[in-house]
Amino acid sequence: MTEKELITILHTLDTKEMRGFGRFLKGTAERTSQDRIAFFDYLEKYHPKFPPKKIEREYIAQKLFSDVPDPLRKVRELANNVGAVLKDFLVQEELRKQKEQYDFLLLEAYKRRKLDNFFFKKADEIDKAWKRKKPVGIKQLSNEYLLKKTAFTHPGYIQTNKSLITYEVLTRQLDKYYFAEKLFWTSCLKVTEDFVNTSGADFIEKQYLIREILENNKSLQNSQIEFLAEVLDVLITEHFQNYPQLEERFIENVLSFDESERNDLIDILNHISLRDYTISKQEAHKRAFGLNKQAIEKQWIFRDEYLSGFRFLNIVGTACLVEDLDWARYFIETFGITLGKDERDDIVSIAHATVDFKDGLYERVTDRLLHTRFRNILYKVYERTFRLRCYYELRHSELFSPLAQSFKDFLRSHRKKDLAEDFAQGVLNFIRFVCELEKRRYEFRPDIAPVLEEIKSCDNVAFKKWLIEKVEELIKK
């Protein structure tokens, strides 16, 4: 591990964890490890800011080890040595937080040492604790299978006279976890496929056979599995009008999923709501916003998990669509910290830009997006649509035309390869229409009504509502 890698990890430790690591490091040190302790004490002095000059290899070498033959090599070796101990410390910290993993490792230790009484006593304690308060998440179905398997495969299991666990019980428990995970990830894949080319269509269709298996296997009855099966059923059959029942079932089952799963499921429900053509788009947005707001207020999300950029922007976007801009700004300021460090500044910038655009602050939008450097292709598409609309609103024709052309080239080069065909085509249709409006807005008495009819009749066009508003503005002129 290099010094930079070591500093990067140490920077994530809070003050209490840094002190704990110091005790852990010194407790594992040998008598000949005084240099390692001196090196750590030096780094701890500058935690958590770590001024760049103070942590340069050359500076540390001169400061601490100027009397050794090769001080730079000494720093490299110490960074690698302390880094190895830091990895052990991080694992220990995770085991302290993840009690299930700690307990399973303890069972394995008892089993390896033939401490049978300790093994079965601990296994019973775990089982009883889960019955009193079952941990949340699909992973718990796996943990329940693993506990049964660990006990069943113990050489001394038969002597315990516990006849509850059989091969059938093990298989049924494994199936519960297997099908729950299959349904969950296949639903996530189905939604993703609507935006990027994941080449998963055949896979998804095959997974739909799971529905038939579940209908003919009563032993797999489980509220989580039943709900996930309904979600996948709606996504594949496109019976999006079933959204109200799905949302009701989700609220009933929400606390049986962990935070990460809740985030993904809320995204899936939002997607289904927006695809429900039996209601207006405005009503669909209100439903999505209501579910997002409820999830935040009831702390179903934003507790332990970092939030994905897509989730964050989705919440801001739905708030803007229902025109609750004050709440959107509050959300960005309060929960921006939940984003990963690598993408935080860019996502917060585009989130603020989303609100500013809705507020008509177009110059501010372009300023916010000036220095964003997105790596994800969907973010790149999102950012370009904002700039194109801003240039239209601001009448920056000299910027509008080059961006429109480069944007079309970008989409054509990525469609099918990276972007889902329908998604890319919807954005291309948006560019075509907005370019038509840009051209006609400077004509004397332009015949704009046919363009309005074409936009309204087009089933696949991004930002359709905004386009219609712009056409209506031209008609009124």
Q: Would you say residue 219 has pLDDT above 90? A: no
Alpha-carbon distances, residue 115 vs 82, 111, 126, 149, 188 (angstroms): 35, 6, 17, 18, 44
Categorize the per-residue pLDDT at 393 as very low, low, confident or very high, splitting at 50, 70 and 90.
very high
The rounded radius of gyration (Å) of the Cα atoms in the chain is 28
Q: What percent of the chain has pLDDT over 90?
A: 45
Q: Encode pLDDT of 347-368 as tens digits.
A: 999 999 999 999 999 999 999 9
| Contact status, residue 233 vs residue 245, Cβ threshold 8 Å | no
Q: Where are the domains of the chain?
A: 3-97, 107-165, 319-368, 374-477
Separation CA 260–CA 374 (nearest Å): 23
pTM recorded for the entire structure: 0.77
Separation CA 97–CA 372 (nearest Å): 36
**For position 205, what pLDDT does the model report?**
62
Q: Would you say residue 216 has pLDDT above 80? A: no
Burial of 447 (0-12, 13-18, 19+ CB in 10 A): exposed
Q: Encode pLDDT of 163-184 as tens digits.
A: 578 888 888 889 889 889 988 9
Q: Encode pLDDT of 291-314 as tens digits.
A: 999 998 888 887 666 777 888 898
CA-nearest of 262, 228, 223, 260 to 246 is 228
**For position 141, what pLDDT does the model report?**
92
Q: Encode pLDDT of 318-336 as tens digits.
A: 999 899 999 999 999 998 8
Helices (H), 299-457: 309-321, 325-335, 341-358, 362-368, 377-393, 397-414, 421-440, 449-457
| Contact status, residue 259 vs residue 301, Cβ threshold 8 Å | yes
**For position 206, what pLDDT does the model report?**
61
Q: What percent of the chain has pLDDT over 70?
A: 92
